[in-house]
Chain A
Amino acid sequence: MPALFELVSVTHRYGRHTALYDVSLTVRCGAMGLVGQNGAGKSTLIHLLLGLIRPTAGAVKTLSHEPGEEATSFRGSVGFMAERESLLPGLKGIEYVALAGRLSGMPRRDAQRRAHETLFYLGLEESRYRAVEHYSVGMKQRLKLAAALVHDPDLLLLDEPTAGLDPDGRAAMLDVLAALAARPGKSLVLSTHLLSDVERICEEAIFLDRGRVVAVGPIGPMRTASVGAYRLRWRGDAAGMLAGLRDRGVEVHASTRPGEARVVVHRDWAPRDFFAAAREANVLLTGLDREEEDLEDVYRRLIGVGARSGGGRNG
């Protein structure tokens, strides 16, 4: 299977500011999340993949093409949805999408027909003859997606597609993206700081932090590789048991609920050790649930920010 994109020792600087440090990646087809905080280098990476900028050092290949050299040929296979507004005030929705098709190399009639189809597909058929500046935020996002999708690209690069959307609009957008990600033979790169979006759409993710790749690969194994965290419940006074756990190197985070705590254990710890500690302190354990890391925990762990303390989600 050919690589979707390949970066070899890529560094990119804007003047003195280094946006990407020595990034090397090879990504195969599929739905890939690009995760990082603001300023992590996500947009720079997408601009490099599109050939809008050239790396200060290193080499980039997108769909087996060098974007800088062959931008006008390979972009026919790429659709890009920008984070910023990127609208042309004065144009109607249908004209905006049809123009995107023509700029992507489609003949006039095909572009026009596909623009109607795409707007219909994204639920904008009622408003396609309205000027784009009169669209709501959610409609603008879908319009930008339509413009990225009109020429049926092999690779969709989406930069913060759910930014500014209300919960309903976000859910609808994620539904569409999930369907697009499932198209056979097509790939999608979803750049976002909203980890739940990546969790919903992508099978794999690239985690960026201050211009460096901190992890890349399937999301599932990243979760299972988590440090063991448990939700512990008991009946009675457990001060002795908790002190004993702390003595054995277990992190104990008190919960807001009585008779409950979140504990993080070290690698050699086995669940039966909880029962041993409870027996020693004469405490009855009523619950022991393994807490599964979500992507946010994975991300926090990867970039070295402390995990969220007790009183968390699984209580």
Chain B
Amino acid sequence: MAEMLDQDRERYRGWDSRLQPAWFSIWPIATTGAKLVLRRKLFWLLLGLTLINFLFLFATIYLKAQIRIENPALTRFVDQVLKSVSGTGETFRDFMAAQGTVTMLMLAFGGEVLVGNDYRHGGLTYYLSRRIGRRHYLLGKLLAIAMLVALTTTLPALVLYVEYGLLTDSIVYFQENAGILLGILGYGLLMATALSLVLFAMAAWLQRTVPLVMGWACLFVLLPAVGAILRNVYDDRSWHLLSFWRDIRLLGSWCFGAVPQRDAPLMPGAVAVVAIVCAAALLASIPRVRAFRVVR
């Protein structure tokens, strides 16, 4: 080996060029994080699940369009049967919420790879000893999680929106339903922000998959179940606010302009819960972004 190194050393060359600003590092941090998750087989299994839902809806929209063209008499019947695929805000909201459920599972299992390993294998020192600050690292990791969320929720919803428009009234559909596009982007942004903040905080503290899944389950399964029980016991719908996922969905409904009448009074509470959880997650994350472990 020494001989090999002797030969190689002669090939060493310096490098001198203008360095890019630290903000440019956010993108490689994000793409590296996403790449690490994409390399896991479990991710592809869960992505397959989201694809099934997407392909089902994609095919249904196509089928409806074909029936409308080939047999207009059946249009009304088909619309009745496939009410949920109507191209309205509710269609896309429900689709994104359903996709989000699988996305949550994906994140629970991907948190260790995305963030936890940086703590367990000293990756944080690797990142923070370079020409970046803590905020660049944090933003890069949040962007990685947000990209995964967008990949399974916002992106397919946008594809379906375009498909629906192209197969129905084209320009007229897009003109009359521009709000849906904003709704998709708004709900997507909301899910990406909330989930990335919560996942980062949990993964930074819990690090390993098993505790992470348990913590995730407490937030997204146990708390909503407790909320549902208390709602029945006290006959007060406000207890539903304990369900973080339901709160996000409620805000998503607002993005689509489709808040159910009975949930409208819960809106301010949902906004408060989502804001508090996100702020708490951010505050919990900041002290964890340190480059070293103290050895005494």
Are A and B co-members of a single complex? yes
Residues of chain A at the chain B interface (Cβ within 8 Å): 14, 17, 38-39, 43, 47, 50, 52-53, 71-73, 75-76, 80, 82, 84-91, 95, 99-100, 102-108, 110, 114, 117, 120-123, 147, 151-152, 168-169, 171-172, 175-176, 179, 183
Q: A75-B131, A108-B28 are in contact. List 7 more A-B contacts (CB 8 A).
A: A52-B125, A72-B131, A82-B125, A88-B117, A102-B25, A103-B29, A122-B5
- Within 8 Å of chain A (Cβ to Cβ): is B122? yes
Total B residues in contact with A, Cβ cutoff 8 Å: 48
Nearest A residue to B112, CB-CB: A89
Q: Which 7 A-B pairs have the closest CB atoms?
A: A105-B19, A103-B130, A86-B122, A152-B15, A84-B122, A72-B22, A80-B129
Q: How many A-B residue pairs have CB under 8 A?
A: 137
Q: In the bound complex, how far is the Cα of B294 from the Cα of A17, in angstroms?
A: 10
- Per-position contact with A for B128-162: 1 when CB-CB < 8 Å, else 0? 11111100100000000000000000000000000
Contact yes or no, B32 A121, CB < 8 A: no
Between A and B, 18 residue pairs with Cβ closer than 8 Å are A14-B294, A71-B133, A76-B19, A87-B123, A88-B32, A88-B118, A90-B39, A100-B130, A105-B20, A105-B24, A106-B19, A107-B17, A120-B8, A121-B9, A123-B5, A152-B14, A168-B2, A179-B12
In the complex, A141 Cα to B130 Cα: how many Å?
A: 17
Decide if B1 is an interface residue (CB 8 Å cutoff): yes
Contact of A172 among B5, B130, B293 (CB under 8 A): B5
Can you list, as one digit per residue, whether each of B53-72 has a CB less than 8 Å from chain A (1) or not (0)? Answer: 00000000000000000000
Also in contact, A89 and B130, with CB within 8 A (given A103-B29, A120-B8, A151-B15): no
User: When chains A and B are docked, how far (Å) is the Cα of A152 from the Cα of B13?
Assistant: 8
A17 to B296, CA, bound (A): 8
B131–A105 contact, CB under 8 A?
Answer: yes
User: In the complex, are the beta carbons of A103 and B17 less than 8 A apart?
Assistant: no
Docked pose: A114 CA to B13 CA in angstroms: 9
Quick one: given A87-B122, A88-B36, A172-B2, are A43 and B129 in contact (CB under 8 Å)?
no
CB-CB < 8 A to A102: which residues of B? 24-25, 28
Chain A CB within 8 A of B44 CB: no
> With A90-B39, A121-B12, A152-B16 known to touch, is A47 a contact of B291 (CB < 8 Å)?
yes
Q: Which residues on the B side are within 8 Å of A171 (C-beta)?
A: 2
B residues near A73, Cβ cutoff 8 Å = 131
Q: How near does chain A come to B20, taking the closest CB pair, in angstroms? A: 5
Could you tell me the distance between the alpha carbons of A80 and B293 in the complex, rounded to whole angstroms? 16
**B125 / chain A contacts, CB cutoff of 8 Å:** 52, 82, 84, 86
Docked pose: A102 CA to B292 CA in angstroms: 21
A185 to B217, CA, bound (A): 56
A151 CB contacts on chain B under 8 angstroms? 15, 19
Contacts of B41 in A (CB 8 A): none
| Complex Cα gap A99–B292 (Å) | 20
0 or 1 for each of B190-233: is its CB under 8 Å from A? (1 = yes) = 00000000000000000000000000000000000000000000
Q: Which of B2, B24, B32, B128 contacts A175 (CB 8 A)?
A: B2
**CB pair A104 B122 closer than 8 Å:** no
